[in-house]
Structure 1
Amino acid sequence: MKQLLILHAGQTEAGHTYALAQSARTGAAALADEVATVMLPALQADLPDLLAAQGLLLVTPEKFGYMAGALKDFFDRTFYPAQGKIAGLPYALVVVGGNDGSGAVMAVERIARGYPLKAIAEPLVVKGAPTKAQLQQACELGEAMAGGIAMGIF
């Protein structure tokens, strides 16, 4: 079965980052018969999780104008071992910004180009607590990713 990997880099399951990741997971569940959704904290994910995925959804808080250290750690652990094995893997990004989120977006996009991953949507940047509309956007992003994977669009 095809798989969507959702990585979240929040510190708790009660935070904004987790809420957005969970909303994306809920959206992806609409296609559970065709695409398995695996949601993991970035610190627990490893190379086999990445290699098993046909799509990657990254959800990170902005920390000091950068991505969370947990997501950077995931990239550090998987970048070289994944070279030549995931080129073109579709990904999307959700950033929970304390500022404007642009630093985190820029950092993730730079690393994604190095893998190279293929962006399938504009980054969703949420400033502060997510609104109901933003949680719905995350839900729709998860569903769109799972749908694209199921139909072989990506």
Structure 2
Amino acid sequence: MATKTLLIVAHAPSPNTEKLAQAAYGGANHPDIDMDVILKSPQDTQPEDVLAADALLLGTTENLAYMAGLTKDFFDRCYYSVLEEKQGMPFALYIRAGQDGTGTKRALQTITTGLRWEWIQEALILRGDWQETFSEQVEELAMTLAAGVEAGIY
């Protein structure tokens, strides 16, 4: 059976959000999981990347109670190109939110409902001041998604 591909699209404008992106990459690349893992920034992700993926993990910051502009740009550029072909794609989300995160979560639920992507679990919202445990939570989320896709659960 061909190795499956997990695409991680992570908006990482700061050293801490870069730690989250690297934690996601590391979790998905766990030695017990046979998965091709691709980590890209939203601005570098093209429709072809999404079309080639078996699952997608999205990481974004919350800006003004909404997803980061570059995350929105990713969806603006890719939405219609992947709409018909990627229905049912397993999807997970983490949000780095200083305060709340619910506006970003709600917006992404709307977009991914339109795409008919399958959320594997509730959005992981990392609220408040930076905590080192945020990286562990993102690593676990990525590992869960990758292992589930590899095993055919998602």
Q: Which AA in structure 2 matches 1:25?
A: Y
| Identical columns (%) | 35
Unaligned runs of 5+ residues in structure 2 are: none
Q: Which AA in structure 1 matches 2:121?
A: A
Structure 1 residues 54-93: aligned runs within 5 Å: 54-93=54-93
Which residue of structure 2 lines up, in the alignment, with residue 98 of structure 1?
98
TM-score under structure 1 length normalisation: 0.93
Distance in 1, Cα, partners of 2:89 & 2:11: 20
Distance in 2, Cα, partners of 1:147 & 1:43: 27
4+ residue runs of structure 1 moved beyond 3 angstroms?
none
Contact 1:67 1:104 in 2 (8 A): yes
Contact 1:86 1:115 in 2 (8 A): yes
Distance in 2, Cα, partners of 1:6 & 1:31: 17
Alignment CA distance shift 1:105-1:33 (3 Å): closer
Unaligned runs of 5+ residues in structure 1 are: none
Alignment CA distance shift 1:24-1:130 (3 Å): farther
**How big is the alpha-carbon RMSD for the aligned residues of Structure 1 and Structure 2?**
1.4
Which residue of structure 1 lines up, in the alignment, with residue 6 of structure 2?
4
Alignment CA distance shift 1:85-1:63 (3 Å): same
Would you say how many aligned residue pairs link Structure 1 and Structure 2? 152
Give how far 1:54 is off.
0.8
Which residue of structure 1 lines up, in the alignment, with residue 127 of structure 2?
127
Contact 2:33 2:147 in 1 (8 A): no
Give how far 1:32 is off.
7.1
Contact 1:31 1:143 in 2 (8 A): no
Which residue of structure 1 lines up, in the alignment, with residue 114 of structure 2?
114
TM-score under structure 2 length normalisation: 0.93
Give how far 1:99 is off.
2.0
* 1:45-102 CA distance string (max 9 Å, x none): 0011001111111100000000001111010111111121000101111001122011
Contact 1:31 1:147 in 2 (8 A): no
